[in-house]
Amino acid sequence: MVVATNVPLFGLTRRLFGADAALWALFAFNATAYFLVLPDGFIMPDTPMLLFLAAGACAIAEILFGPSGDHDKAGRLWLAAGLALGCAGLSKYSAIFAPIGLLGFLLGSPRHRHWLWDRRPYFGAALGLIIMLPAVAWNYHNHWVSFAFQLNRATAGLTLDARAWATFGGGLVAQVVLLSPWVGAPLLISLASARRSGADSAERFLLWLVVPAISLFAVVPLLGQRAIIPHWFNVGWLFAFPLLGQWLSTRSANWLRTWGRASAVLAAATVALYLAAVIVGPSRLVALAPSGQRDPTRYSYDWPDLRSAASWHSSGAAPPAFIVVVDWRFGGKVGAAIGPKIPICAFSSDPRGFAFQCDQASLIGKDALIVVAKADAATALPLLAPYFESVDPAEDIAIGRSGNAERVLTVVRAHSLIRPYELPYGPGPSSAASIPPP
């Protein structure tokens, strides 16, 4: 999907600034760590969102800046844009920044403001909302839990303490690294240059798609969120590349030759370093690189099939009916290892989707295999034990790459679930208002 995103991104940039700018936009897009290695290292809803956002923006650019006069074509393009943006919204809620940015541009552009009282954009918007109906309907039947969860991440209140400012600064540093400085520096210059454009220009159209998302996610630490997830920003950065392509296309041939070669080499080195870190672990490449819980690649390698653990065959009894984790990330890794037939239950204040995947009521009286990090076992196991009739002695399992013990899991056979674990959201709770900060 990241490769496919190049197609509408090229079309968007070519419509606005020409073919040369479009080619340079693609070169920069594919030389950036953000879009070169991050989608390969993490399976996230951002990837389809980016593809559909680029497609929707391409259709809208054709309407706003392409040849005028074809009434039917404009109607079809608005429907295509609505379809694409609806699919983007169905992928991830942060796609909402695109229609918000479009509305801001139309309000501020005298030449394009007439679309606000034309019925065709509203037909496209209606189609987008229809595409989004599955998410809306599911939330309606589940107390609007996903909307409440997302809003709760950044609305704890204004926070200006040292930790908030440190998180703010760290988030900006992470963006510089992920944008790749050799691409990020000219990208920021191109954004600054675009600020001087007119209200109805293509540059201003793109700025409306870039700035709101980047600005909001940059300040969320000051609104109570204690961590910035780096890939949040990519919904905005995507639309900065057409501006960068335009800026690059106006540079001299010698400058472009030097920058292009250096960027290609550095991008290739980034990929090589990333692959090496995933294969052997960062700490084996660099002495001071983070390891264990702080290793950014700690979820990039497979975990063993826990059915080979002695706890799985406790006393010759039948295998456990389900898995219990206290970290939803563990649920994903364990689930991938043992397959979809064994339910995963997150007994946690932050169960994420496992709150809905696990039907605890049907598991009363059945055995579970508890899987936690060894570092968390002393705290987690005493809290989980009262939910079962009995628990067996703990078993430690070392996991890692190439036979190295990079992390240690503690697994425990727990017998006969007595009562469900009370979750903050899910089919049982009557309200999503109790969602705790993640």
Looking at the fold, whether 261 and 124 belong to one and the same domain comes out as yes
Q: Are residues 336 and 406 in the same domain?
A: yes
% of the chain surpassing 70 pLDDT: 94
> What are 99's two structure tokens?
């229609």
Residue 143 has pLDDT above 80, yes or no: yes
Looking at per-residue pLDDT, the higher value among 308 and 9 belongs to 9
- Residues 51, 185, single domain; the answer is yes
**Residue 235 pLDDT exceeds 90:** yes
- What tens digit of pLDDT does each residue of 337-396 get? 998 899 999 999 889 889 998 899 999 999 999 999 999 999 999 999 999 999 999 999
Count how many domains the chain has: 2
Q: What is the DSSP letter of 412?
A: E
Domain region containing 388? 306-417
Q: Is pLDDT of 429 > 70?
A: no
Average pLDDT for residues 115-135, to the nearest whole number?
95
Q: Residue 411 in 3-state DSSP?
A: strand
Whether residue 203 sits in one domain with residue 78: yes
Confidence band, pLDDT 50/70/90 cuts, at residue 155: low
CB atoms within 10 A of CB 422: 13
State if pTM tops 0.85: yes
The answer to the question of residue 435 being in a domain is no
> Is residue 270 domain-shared with residue 359, that is, in the same domain?
no
The DSSP H or E segment spanning 407 is strand 407-417
The reply to whether 294 falls in a domain is no
In a domain, 86, yes or no: yes
Are 376 and 348 in contact by the 8 Å Cβ rule? The answer is no
The C-alpha atoms of residue 122 and residue 108 are separated, in whole angstroms, by: 18
